[in-house]
Amino acid sequence: MKIKLTENINNILLLIAVFIGLDGLGLGVSIRGFEIMGISIAHILILFIVIISFTVSDHRVFNMENDISLPMILLFGLFLVEFLISTIYILFIEQSYPMGQLIKNVLELYIYFFFFSIILLVTNKKQLMKFIYGLLIITVISAFICYYQAVNKISLSASVMRDSGQYVRFYFPTLHLIAGVFFTIVALYLYYGFKKSLIPVYLIGVFALPAFFIPLHRGMISAFLIVLLGLLIFNLKDDFKKGLGLLIFLCFFFIIVVMILRNIGVDFNAIWARIKDGWISTLNQEGTAGFRFLLIKVAWKDTMNNSPIFGIGFTWRFISSLEDYLTTASQRSPVNDSSYSSLITTFGLSGIFVYVFLFYRVFKTGFKVLNKSIEKDYRCMIIGVLSLNVYLLIVGISSDLLFGQSSTTVMVASWAVLYIIANFNAKEKNMEGR
SS (H, E, C) 100-113: HHHHHHHHCCHHHH
Residue-level pLDDT at 183: 93
Range of the domain at 277: 130-433
Average pLDDT, stretch 222-250? 76
Average pLDDT, stretch 215-242? 78
- Give per-residue pLDDT as tens, 87-116: 999 998 888 888 888 888 888 888 898 888
Residues 161, 357: Cα–Cα separation, whole Å: 37
Residue 264, classed as helix, strand or coil, is: coil
Residues 422, 65: Cα–Cα separation, whole Å: 10
Confidence class for position 430, pLDDT limits 50, 70, 90:
low
- Let me know: does 295 contact 329? Beta carbons within 8 Å: yes
Contacts of 60 (CB under 8 A, 6+ apart): 54, 120
Whether 48 is in a domain gets the answer: no
Mean pLDDT taken over the chain: 80
Q: At residue 391, does pLDDT exceed 70?
A: yes
CA distances from 67 to 213, 412, 416 (A): 35, 15, 12
- Let me know: does 121 contact 14? Beta carbons within 8 Å: yes
Average pLDDT, stretch 134-146? 90
Residues 108, 49: Cα–Cα separation, whole Å: 16
Q: At residue 158, does pLDDT exceed 70?
A: no
Residues 139, 239: Cα–Cα separation, whole Å: 29
- pLDDT-above-70 percentage for the chain: 78
Residue-level pLDDT at 353: 95
Residue-level pLDDT at 1: 44
Burial of 38 (0-12, 13-18, 19+ CB in 10 A): exposed
pLDDT-wise least confident of 30-39, 168-177, 287-296: 30-39
Residues 223, 400: Cα–Cα separation, whole Å: 14
State the DSSP H helix or E strand holding residue 267, giving kind and residue range, or none if neither.
none
Q: At residue 207, does pLDDT exceed 70?
A: yes
Q: At residue 366, does pLDDT exceed 60?
A: yes
Residues 326, 329: Cα–Cα separation, whole Å: 5
Residue 159, classed as helix, strand or coil, is: strand
Higher pLDDT, 198 or 1: 198
CA distances from 411 to 173, 237, 393, 395 (A): 13, 29, 10, 12
Phi/psi of residue 159, each to 5°? -150, 85
- Give per-residue pLDDT as tens, 161-187: 666 555 566 677 788 999 999 999 988
pLDDT-wise least confident of 70-79, 263-272, 356-365: 263-272
User: Residue 24 gets which letter from DSSP?
Assistant: G
Average pLDDT, stretch 57-84? 83
pTM score, two decimals? Answer: 0.89
Burial of 118 (0-12, 13-18, 19+ CB in 10 A): buried
Whether 384 is in a domain gets the answer: yes
Residue-level pLDDT at 304: 93
Whether 162 is in a domain gets the answer: yes
Q: At residue 125, does pLDDT exceed 50?
A: yes
Residues 39, 261: Cα–Cα separation, whole Å: 41
Average pLDDT, stretch 48-68? 74
Whether 49 is in a domain gets the answer: no
**Within 13 A of 256's CA, how many CA atoms are on the CB side?**
10
Residue-level pLDDT at 30: 47
Whether 53 is in a domain gets the answer: no
Whether 223 is in a domain gets the answer: yes
Residues 338, 97: Cα–Cα separation, whole Å: 25
Q: At residue 385, does pLDDT exceed 90?
A: yes
| CA 178 from centre of chain | 10
| CA 116 from centre of chain | 16
Number of domains in the chain: 1
CA distances from 110 to 21, 119, 325 (A): 10, 16, 27
Phi/psi of residue 317, each to 5°? -125, 110
Average pLDDT, stretch 146-172? 69
Residue 156, classed as helix, strand or coil, is: strand
Contacts of 348 (CB under 8 A, 6+ apart): 303, 307, 308, 309, 310, 311
Average pLDDT, stretch 320-326? 72
Whether 207 is in a domain gets the answer: yes
Residues 49, 239: Cα–Cα separation, whole Å: 44
Q: Provide the β-strand partners of residue 163.
A: 168
CA distances from 229 to 54, 222, 363 (A): 41, 11, 19
Whether 258 is in a domain gets the answer: yes
Residues 332, 345: Cα–Cα separation, whole Å: 7
Beta strand pairing status for 161-163 and 39-40? unpaired
